[in-house]
Each structure stands twice: as structure tokens, then as C-alpha cells.
Amino acid sequence: MAKITKRAHFTVEDLDTKSRLDVYLSNQRAELTRNVIAQAHLRLNGKAAKKGNLVQNGDELEIEYTLTVFEGLTAQAVEFPILYEDESIVVINKPQGLVVHPAAGNWDHTLANGLLHRYGDSILSVQEEGAEGVRPGIVHRLDKETSGVLVVALTQHAQIALNEQFKERTTTKIYIALVDGLLKERSGKITAHIRRNPNDRKKMAICASDEGRSALTEYTLLRQFKTCALVRITLHTGRTHQIRVHFASIGHPVVGDELYGKAVDQGMMLHALELGLIHPKSGKPCTFKAPLPERFLSYVRLRLNKNSD
């Protein structure tokens, strides 16, 4: 473990009304907890600020804060199926249960450890801004129990280009999920704002527009079963746990989501099916797909067999 001092700058956006400074910051990065913000040096539009100050779109925020972090990254053999690879990017089909980068409770055998093992020390120079050497080439994430398509940058140029695409929401992100219950509509949009749950830092929560960030999830019902529904989801924004908290908020949590619903033996039924982006070197549009995992079919077969008894 080590103590590091970090600095970050944010231009306030996506607010419908004014928000407390600490609430806004806590929604930008998971590491910006209330305790971290309370002990940080804050500046609002160039002047010293307090956590209770109100911010609005266009404001400039600066924060200097201290974290206790994982020190270093160890190369470890970690299995991750590769869908596509060239000199700029690698696209993997992330297995369910694989953590993307080291964090509390998962310090090793992550995708980041596997990337270092596969590509050597050169991958350490491909860094997300502020990542402090533990997220080589990782420009977006999938939750531990979510499987599917994930792209990793292998060069600094690719990292910058992909980061910009995710920031500007020009990527296409399609998911498949099984959600609990009977859906009333064949299609729909969920637009509730999201913030970190103030009572449980592991969870996100639906909130008022002045307390969180805007989020848009669009879905189409593919097949309705007796106890669950198969849905195709287009993710228009990329908030933490967005699909999971959005569907839980309308009474249809993702099957197997023990954080927002209840666990099942097959694990969480959420899969990143398709990712569309502009290749950072060729400039050509690319679409990558990961086949539907067997666990979906296994769960549905089990439900159908039970219902036929």
C-alpha cells in the first residue's frame, strides 16, 4: 500500500439544476468518497471552496486529494478470450467473474494483471488519466459479474482516441440481459438520474436531477418468459451500474444481481453483446460482438423445466 496525492479538474456538466460540490464530485469518480472530499483541497472557478458550495453547468472544479492505493502491478497469467487484436487495440470477451483492474478486495488476478503478463512492461505506459499505473490500456469497464465485449488500448495514441470516443458518447454499446418479472411494454426508455448511494458506497441510487448525473437506457423486449424477460439494451450513457440500477428502479432487476436484486446459481445475467467504435489508427468504423453466454441458455432451460413440472 502507498499514499499518493492526486489532482483532478472537472468542468461541471449534465446538471439540470445546481448541485452541492461534494455531491457532484462523488459522482465523477468512485474513489472520491465523502471522507476523501472532506479532507481534500477544493477550488471552484479558481477560488478556494467548501464541500457544501453549490455548482452549476460551466463551473470549473479543481481537487487535490490523498488516496491509499495498491502499489505496483504484478504480471499474472489470466485467461481472457480475444475477439480481435492488432498493434493498436485488443478486444476481449471478458469472462464473468473477472475483475477489470485492481481495487479493494481484488488486488490481483485482474484483467490488468493479465495484460501486463501478455504484453510486458510496454503496456504500463498506456495509461488512463490519473490511473497511477494499475489500469494499463483500460479505457472503459465492465462490472465483475458482467461478461462481454471490452476494448483495451495498446498504444498511448489509441488510449487518447478511445477515451475521447467514450467521453463524447460516439461509441455504440449494446447489452443483452435477463430481467425479473413480466414487462408491460415491448420497448421503453429509462431516464432516471443516478448518483452514488450515500448509505452504501458499493451501490448507486436513483436520485433527483440536482443530486446526480443524467442517464439514458433504452431497451427492447426480445422474449417474455413466465418469470423473466430477455431484453436488448442500448446504453446511451455510461454511468456506474447504470443498467442494473435503472432496471431495479422499475421493478425488474437483472436476474442474479445480488446487489440490487437477488443472486442465482448462474450469476448475473448481463452481457455486453456489441461494441461499435472508430478504429483509433485506421479511422474506420468497427463493430465487435461477443456471443451470448451459455449461462443465459442454462438459466432459461432450468426455468422452463421447472414451470413444466
Task: List active site positions.
Answer: 143
Q: What are the φ and ψ backbone dihedral angles of 89, each rounded to 5 degrees?
A: -140, 160
Distance CA 119, CA 123 (A): 6
272 forms beta bridges with 148, 175
Q: What are the φ and ψ backbone dihedral angles of 177, each rounded to 5 degrees?
A: -145, 150
- Cβ partners under 8 Å of residue 179, min gap 6: 228, 229, 231, 247, 252, 253, 254, 255, 269
Instruction: Tell me whether residue 138 is exposed, middle or buried, using C-beta atoms within 10 angstroms of its C-beta: 0 to 12, 13 to 18, 19 or more.
Output: buried
Distance CA 23, CA 277 (A): 31
Cell 443498467 locates to 243
CA 106 to chain centre: 16
